[in-house]
Structure 1
Amino acid sequence: MQPQPLIDAVLHAVDPAEALKTAWQPPPPGRVWLVAFGKASLPMAHRAVDLLGERLAGGAVIAVPETIGDLPLPDHVRVYPAAHPLPDERSLEAARAVEAVARHAGEGDTLLVLVSGGGSAHLACPVEPLTLPDIRHVTQALMRAGAPIEALNTVRKHCEVLKGGGLARAAVPAHILTLILSDVIGDRLDMIASGPTVRDTTTAAQALHLLDEYGLHEAVPAVTAYLESVEEAPLLDFPPVEHRIIANNVTAIEAARHAAEQQGYSVVGQHEAVTGEARDIGATLAAQAKALAPGECVVLGGETTVTVRGEGQGGPLQEMALAAALALAGEPDLRVVCFATDGIDGPTDAAGAVVEGETAARIRAAGVDPVVALDRSDSHTALDAAGALLRTGPTGTNVNDVVVAARARPSV
C-alpha cells in the first residue's frame, strides 16, 4: 500500500474550492457580504469571490498565517491572520472584523458564511468579563484532558460572543447562507466551528458539568466563576439560516477507498468513524490489520483524542500510529497509514505517520524506547527516529482524519 496516491486522492476529493463550486447555488438577489474562517477559508473565499462577481459588497476572511498571499482577494475583502488551535490577539482582532461585516449586512442583503475546520480558534471573541487568556487556558486544559470536540465546543459556546449562533444574531435582518467544509464526525451543525450560525440548545450548566467531568473546575477559575454566574434565559427567536455541507469526512473516506482499490486492494468493512483515545484506537487498528488476508485493507475516518501523560511532542494520529507500531511488531507485511487531512497533527510539523511491522525495531535501533515514548506522549520523537512521519505541510482543507490498514498483496 503506497501512501502518496491515497493522500493525493483524498486531498483532491476534499479540495475546498472545487467542493464549493460543485455545491454552488447563487444567493438571493441583492448585495452579498462575505465572511470566511477556518483552515480552508482562503480557497473557499477565493472561489466565492469569482462566483459572486460584482454582487460582492465586501468581506473579512480569517486565514492560517502561512497561507496568506497564496490566493489574492480584492481590496474590499480584508484578510486577517489567526492562530490555531489556541487563539491569540490576532484571532480576537479577526473575530471583531467578521462581526463588523455581519453587522453591515442589512435588509435585502445576504451574509455568506464560509466555515471550515479550525474555525473555533479563528473566531475567538470572549464574553465579558472573560479575557483571551481565559479562553486559551480553558481550551488548552480541555484538550490536554482528552475532551472530545463536542465537549470543547460546548464550553466555548458559552464563553464567546460569536459562537452558538452569535454571528447569525449579529447579521439580522440579512439573509444568512452558511457553506460548510465539515470537520466534525456526523456533521453536527452546532459543533462545527462551535456553531456560529446555529441556534444553541446547550446550557451554561452543561458547560459547567463538563468542566467538572474533566476535573477542571478549579483549574480554570475565571471560566468556572463566569459559568456559575450565568442566569439561563429562555431560547429567544433565532433568524432563519440556510446551511449546506459541501464536503466532509465521508467524502475523504470514499476517495481513500477508491484509491486503495486502484492499487489493487480489496477494501473490507463499511464506513466506520473512529473516536476515542488515540492509543486505544491504534491497538484496535493493529488487531484489525492482523485479521486481514493478503491484499485486503480497511479504511476508516474520524477524530481521536489524546490524554496528555508527559511533556513529549506528538498528536493524536502519531500516538495512534505509535501504538499500532508496537502491536504490529514482527508482522512485516502489514502497514498502517494515519493522515490528517489538514496536514497538521497536533502542535507538530507532521501530518501523521506510516508504520509497519519493523517500525518499532527501527525506533529502538535509533536509541529511542517506543514504549517509554508512548507513555510520555512523545510519539513524534519516536516516529521521527524511525523515519515514519508524514510531512505534507498545511493542505488548505480539513475534514478530519483518514486511516488505512493493509496487508501486502501476494507476490506475483
Structure 2
Amino acid sequence: MQAEERLRALYAAAVDAARPAGRIEVPAALAPKGRLIVLGAGKAAGSMAAAFEEACEQPIAAGLVVTSYGNAAPTRAIEVVEASHPVPDANGLRAAERIMALAKEAGPDDAVVFLGSGGGSALLALPAPGLELADKQAITKALLASGAPITEINNVRKSLSAVKGGRLAQAAAPARVLSYLISDMPGDDAALIASGPTLASPQGFEPLAVLEKHGVEVDERVREAIAANPAPAALAGAEYKVIAKAADSLAAAAALADSWGWEARILGDAIEGEARAVARTMAAEARALQSGLARPVALLSGGETTVEVRGEGKGGRNQEFCLALALALDGQAGIHAIAADTDGIDGATVHAGAVVAPDSLARMQEQGVDPQACLEANDAQRAFEAAGGLVTTGPSLTNVNDFRAVLVEPAAA
C-alpha cells in the first residue's frame, strides 16, 4: 500500500468511527404518558435523525431537524430541512422558529429529544431580542476571519441567540429533555456543541470582551442586546449523551495503523491554534522523530485549527495546514501527511482537505504555482489543485472536527 492510500484509509476509518448509526440507545419509555418530540441541528442532524428512528420503539409525535446544505438523510417521521453554514441564512432562521415552536408545545408528560452536532450554532439562527439576522451574519463572518478559536465563537453565538445556550430546554420545560450529541468541540464540552441549546452555560464568559479582543466592532444597540440576554446558568433535569467524539476517531485510525505494523502515536484530540503555527510544530516534530526510528510511526491528532484571513484565496484550515506543513518539511523524504475535516467539507470549499507528499512543492512549482505566495494569499486550494493532492469525499453526514495524520518512515541509510 502506498503512503497516500494509507493516509486516505486512516481518514476513512476516522470518519466511519464518528457515524451515528448504531450509536444511539433510546430508553424503553421516554414519554410513557405523553408525546415524543424530536428536534435537532447540526451537520450530522439528518443522519442522527435516521439513526434515532432506527433505535426508537416509541411513536414519534413530531420531529424537525436542520442540517447544512447537502447533508440531508432519508427519514420517516422526522422532517429534515437544510440551511447555511457557517454563516446563517433565512432558512436557518425559519427552522429555528419552527423548532422553538415545537419545543413550546411540549407538556409535562412529554419528552423532547435534541440531536445536536457541530454546525448547529449557525443552523439554529434565531436572533436574541433586539438583534437581526444581519447582526448574527456580520459578527459570525468577522469572528471566523479573525482566527478566533471555536470555543470563543460559540460562546459569543450564545449571547446573540434566542435558542442556544440552554434556551431551547427552557422553552420545552417542564417536559423531559434528553440530548444526543456528536462532539466537534476540543475538550468535548457538551455546553458548546451546537452552542448548547439544551444545556446550561457556565457563568463568567464575557462576549463583548471577546469581540473587542478580536477587533470585531459592534454598535451600542448590539451591546445592549447582548447584555440583556444572559444564558441560563442552571437547568433542571437536562440529560445528555455524547455518542461520538474525536477521540473515538483517533482510536479507530490508531487501530488501523497498528494492523499495518506501524506505531500509532496520538498527539491529542483537542489541538487548537493557528493552522500555520500548528503545521510548523508538527513538521519539526516529524523531522526530529525520523532520524531515530526503527519502524514507521503514524502521528495522529484532532481538534480545530484556525485561519487568520489575510488574502482572498480559497481553501479551508486543513488545506492551509497542509500547505504550511509542506513548506516546513521542504521535500523531506519519508514524511507524508493528511489533514481533512471529518464532515467532508473544509471551509467554504467542496474538498475535505489535502494530502502532503515529499514532492508536493515540486509538483506545484512545475505547474507554475508559487506555494509560498499561495500560503500568504490563503489560496491553498490552488496550490493543491496543481499538486494533485486534494481530498474530495462530499458530505460525510457526521462531524468530529479535523483529522490529521503524519506518517514518518525511518530515514534512509
- Short-chain TM bin: over 0.9
SS of residue in 1 equivalent to 2:345: coil
Q: Which amino acid aligns with 1:213?
A: K
Residue aligning to 1:389:
390
Query: What displacement does 1:157 show?
Result: 0.7
Pair 1:261 & 2:262 matched: no
Distance 1:231 1:83, change over 3 A: closer
Residue among 72, 76, 88 paired with 1:73: 76
Q: Distance in 2 between matches of 1:105 and 1:380?
A: 47
Distance of aligned partners of 1:363 and 1:179 in 2 relative to their CA distance in 1, 3 Å threshold: same
Post-superposition, which runs of at least 4 consecutive aligned residues in structure 1 deviate over 6 A? none
Residue 366 of structure 1 and its aligned partner are, at CA, apart by: 1.0
Asked if the contact 1:65/1:81 (under 8 Å) is kept, the reply is yes
Aligned length: 402
Contact 2:304-2:401 at 8 Å conserved across structures: yes
Residue aligned with 1:301, SS: strand
Equivalent residue for 1:34? 38
Describe the shift of the 1:269–1:99 C-alpha distance in structure 2 as closer, same or farther (beyond 3 A).
Answer: closer
Paired residue for 1:249, among 239, 246, 251?
A: 246
With 48-57 and 139-148 compared, the bigger mean Cα shift is at: 48-57
Amino acid at match of 1:273: A
The code of the aligned residue for 1:262 comes to S
State yes or no: 1:239 paired with 2:236. yes
TM-score for the superposition, normalised by structure 1: 0.92
Counterpart of 1:282, as a letter, is A
Q: Structure 1 residues 51 and 232 mapped into 2: Cα distance closer, same or farther (>3 Å)?
A: closer
Q: Is 1:25 the counterpart of 2:27 in the alignment?
A: yes
Percentage of matched positions with identical amino acids: 37
Any unmatched runs of 5+ in structure 2? none
Q: Which whole-Å CA distance do the structure 2 matches of 1:126 and 1:410 have between them?
A: 56
Q: Specify every segment of 5 or more residues in structure 1 that has no aligned partner in the other structure, as ranges.
A: none
CA distance in 1: counterparts of 2:100 and 2:20, whole angstroms: 23
Q: SS of the counterpart of 1:46? A: helix
**CA separation in 2, counterparts of 1:57 and 1:115?**
19
Aligned-pair CA distance for 1:92:
0.3
In structure 1, C-alpha distance between the alignment counterparts of 2:13 and 2:372, rounded to whole Å: 33
- 2:49 is the counterpart of 1:45: yes
In structure 2, what is the Cα distance between the partners aligned to 1:201 and 1:212? 21
Look up the match of 2:279: 282
Matched, 1:371 2:372: yes
For the Cα contact (< 8 Å) 1:265–1:409, is it kept in 2?
no
Q: Taking structure 1 as reference, are residues 361 and 223 closer, same or farther at Cα in structure 2, changes over 3 Å only?
A: farther
Residue in structure 1 matched with residue 352 of structure 2 by the alignment: 351
Letter in 2 for 1:71: P
Counterpart of 1:393 in 2: which secondary structure? coil
Q: Secondary structure at the match of 2:206?
A: helix
Code of the residue aligned with 1:186 in structure 2: it is G
Q: Where does residue 8 of structure 2 map in the other structure? A: 4
**CA, structure 1 residues 78+216, in 2 after alignment: closer, same or farther (shift >3 Å)?**
same
Letter in 2 for 1:145: S
Counterpart of 1:184, as a letter, is M
Query: Residues of 1 paired with 2:337 and 2:173: CA distance?
Result: 49
Any conservation in 2 of the 1:208–1:227 contact (CA below 8 Å)? no
Give, in angstroms, the shift of residue 234 of structure 1: 10
